[in-house]
């Protein structure tokens, strides 16, 4: 929904403030549990009762969404059925996302930035409680710092992606993401090796958190450019990759598995190795008109060719592809500052006339016309 020059920062801020709830949870839930326990309930009952609080909040939010929210950014489904948007084949939209290998690479990588955040949220309080003998309430406060860093760190990652895109195009966005996530993996290894000091562990955890959440923001600075037609599907799959990555990581490195006998410290080290290994797959990403981290662009490729490849000829004939065509023209800045300036100079027109690339969109007749 946002312009290519700021989409990374906007997505990161929205997502980061949502993830902020992870830190708030670490802070509040132990206090709710302690309050119920102090009222006379045994501990095994108190922690179950404490989940009634977020459960009630979920129900309230669900009712508010049902009563006051619209179904999509474009309106309710009832109204959309009467418009051209209803003509778009959802199966083809899904297939376009599934066939694009970039979707799967980003899904995998988001599993090792957002997935890592979910994993740390699951283990960090018990780690401080067991390793350093803190009370549950204090461990919750310290552990909450990891999630509360979302207040600004994920936005910083989105901003880094937008700045990289401004000066170096898609290559800048990819390198920003690669560096941030690679550093997060290295810091996870460090966190697993500073288990003998509480202060050192907290300090490394804070820096680790900053890079993890910045990587999340940088990831969603790339996601909008995978497919304009299937943007919702791509964004959903990548987001689900975060949850899946967390489940896999916890099962591999932090589950109570007698066969592995892996300590939390060892789990953090091996999780860091996994993060760094997965991050290397970003080198495989390539856009024909923009190139990749290590590969050049095709000088004969255009953004229109790439984004219109998701549409069938009959859909193009019905003008269903127009949003993708407009986005293709807007995203030419992803060629990088120097190449974009060269493109603008080569396509300059007389003052007061239409931009040559804008003519096709204006000239296309819609069904209503």
C-alpha to C-alpha distances, 12 to 112, 114, 234, 351, nearest whole angstrom: 16, 12, 16, 37
pLDDT of residue 359: 39
- Quick check: 354 pLDDT over 60? no
pTM of the predicted model as reported, rounded to 2 decimal places: 0.81
Q: List the single range of 83-87, 166-170, 193-197 with lowest mean pLDDT.
A: 83-87
pLDDT of 174 above 50: yes
Q: Report pLDDT for 84.
A: 58
pLDDT at 290 over 90: yes
Supply the pLDDT for residue 347: 79
pLDDT tier for residue 26 given thresholds of 50, 70 and 90: confident
Mapping DSSP onto H, E and C, the string for 286-312 reads: EECCCEECCCCCCCCCCHHHHHHCCCC
Give yes or no for residue 367 having a pLDDT over 50. no
Task: Give me the phi and psi of 111, to 5 degrees please.
Answer: -65, -20
Domains (range + CATH), the chain: 7-60+90-292 (1.20.1250.20), 303-363 (no CATH)
* pLDDT at 357 > cutoff 60: no
User: In the predicted model, is pLDDT for residue 355 greater than 70?
Assistant: no
Q: Which residues pair with 286 in a beta bridge?
A: 292
pLDDT score, position 243: 93
Selected residue with higher pLDDT from 349 and 21: 21
Give per-residue pLDDT as tens, 55-87.
999 999 999 988 888 877 667 777 766 665 556
pLDDT value at residue 218: 94
Confidence at 369, pLDDT banded by 50, 70, 90: very low
Looking at every residue in the chain, the average pLDDT score rounds to 86
**pLDDT of res. 351:** 40
Q: How far is CA 299 from CA 245, 330, 347, in A?
A: 37, 18, 15
pLDDT reported for residue 83: 65
Question: For residue 238, is pLDDT > 90?
Answer: yes
* Cα dihedral sign, 171-176-179-182: negative
Minimum mean pLDDT among 42-51, 96-105, 190-199, 264-273: which range?
42-51
Q: Tokens 């899946």 belong to which residue?
A: 244
- Could you report the per-residue pLDDT of 298-315, keeping only the tens digit for each? 999 999 999 999 999 988
The per-residue pLDDT for 180 is: 97
pLDDT value, residue 188: 97
């Amino acid at each position: 929904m946002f312009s290519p020059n700021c989409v990374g920062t906007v997505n990161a801020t929205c997502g980061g403030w949502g993830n902020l709830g992870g830190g708030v949870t670490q802070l509040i839930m132990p206090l709710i549990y302690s309050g119920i326990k102090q009222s006379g309930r045994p501990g095994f009952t108190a922690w179950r009762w404490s989940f009634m609080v977020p459960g009630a909040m979920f129900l309230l939010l669900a009712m508010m969404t049902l009563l006051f929210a619209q179904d999509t950014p474009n309106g309710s489904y009832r109204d959309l059925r009467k418009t051209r948007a209803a003509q778009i084949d959802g199966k083809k939209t899904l297939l376009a996302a599934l066939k694009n290998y970039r979707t799967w690479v980003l899904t995998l990588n988001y599993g090792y930035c957002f997935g890592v955040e979910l994993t740390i949220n699951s283990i960090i309080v018990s780690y401080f409680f067991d390793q350093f003998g803190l009370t549950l309430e204090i461990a919750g406060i310290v552990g909450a710092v990891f999630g509360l860093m979302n207040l600004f760190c994920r936005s910083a990652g989105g901003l880094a992606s937008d700045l990289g895109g401004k000066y170096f195009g898609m290559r800048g966005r990819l390198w920003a993401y690669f560096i941030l996530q690679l550093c997060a993996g290295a810091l996870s290894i460090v966190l697993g090796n500073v288990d003998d000091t509480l202060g050192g562990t907290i300090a490394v955890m804070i820096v680790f958190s900053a890079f993890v959440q910045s990587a999340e923001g940088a990831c969603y600075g790339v996601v909008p450019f995978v497919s304009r037609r299937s943007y919702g599907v791509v964004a959903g799959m990548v987001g689900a990759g975060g949850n899946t990555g967390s489940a896999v990581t916890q099962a591999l490195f932090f589950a109570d598995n007698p066969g592995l006998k892996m300590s939390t410290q060892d789990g953090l080290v091996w999780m860091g190795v996994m993060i760094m290994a997965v991050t290397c797959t970003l080198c495989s990403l390539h856009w024909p008109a923009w190139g990749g981290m290590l590969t050049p662009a095709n000088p004969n490729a255009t953004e229109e060719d790439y984004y219109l490849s998701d549409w069938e000829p009959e859909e193009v004939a019905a003008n269903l592809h127009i949003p993708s065509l407009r986005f293709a023209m807007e995203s030419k800045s992803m060629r990088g500052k120097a190449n974009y300036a060269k493109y603008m100079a080569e396509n300059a027109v007389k003052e007061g006339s239409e931009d040559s690339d804008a003519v096709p969109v204006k000239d296309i007749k819609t069904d209503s016309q």
